[in-house]
Amino acid sequence: MKETVWTEVRECRRCLSHKPLSEFYISNSKHSDGYRSECKECSSHSWRKQTYGISKPDYITMLKMQGGVCAICGKGQRNTTKKKALSVDHCHASGKIRGLLCSACNSAIGHLEDDIPRMSSAIDYLKKHLSKTKEL
């Protein structure tokens, strides 16, 4: 006889979908069950709207226009190591949104401070040492 495994579910207050508790962030406040009232996906969309002014349909449109992949490396959001949504990349000086990037590419250009000459130097450095590292 097959054993039934019960998973606790709750309804998201935004999308009204019933999802397992693993799809909700743990709450720091005193919710009755210890979880936030909106699912992780809705929470992410709310944060993007508040931070960048991008609605859920805007994000989905951008994602479709990019073929569902990072604008730099071409990896899909499901192929990234953390399996999370692509990040909204923006110019820190102007605030203008440039596209959607995976965590690795977003971090890389962030650490290089959007400095194109610095990025070019990094590429030159890698090219210079490409044949040397293959021999090791």
Q: How confident is the model at residue 81 (pLDDT cuts 50, 70, 90)?
A: very low
Q: How confident is the model at residue 109 (pLDDT cuts 50, 70, 90)?
A: very high
Domains of the chain (ranges plus CATH)?
Answer: 1-53 (3.30.60), 56-136 (3.40.1800.10)
The whole-chain average pLDDT of the chain stands at 84
Secondary structure (3-state) at 47: helix
- Give the chain's end-to-end CA distance (angstroms, integer): 57
Whole-model pTM?
0.73
Mean pLDDT of the 119-135 span? 82
On whether the CB atoms of residues 84 and 78 are closer than 8 A, the answer is no
pLDDT tens for 8-36 read: 888 999 999 999 988 888 887 766 678 88
On whether the CB atoms of residues 24 and 15 are closer than 8 A, the answer is no
- Give the integer Cα–Cα distance in Å for 100 and 63: 7
Tell me: pLDDT of 75 over 60. yes
Secondary structure (3-state) at 103: helix
Pairwise pLDDT comparison (132 vs 72), residue with the higher score? 72
Tell me: pLDDT of 1 over 50. yes
Q: How far is CA 1 from the centre of its chain?
A: 42
What's the token pair of residue 36?
């936030």
Residue with tokens 């569902």: 68
Helix, strand, coil distribution of the chain in percent, nearest 5? 40, 20, 40
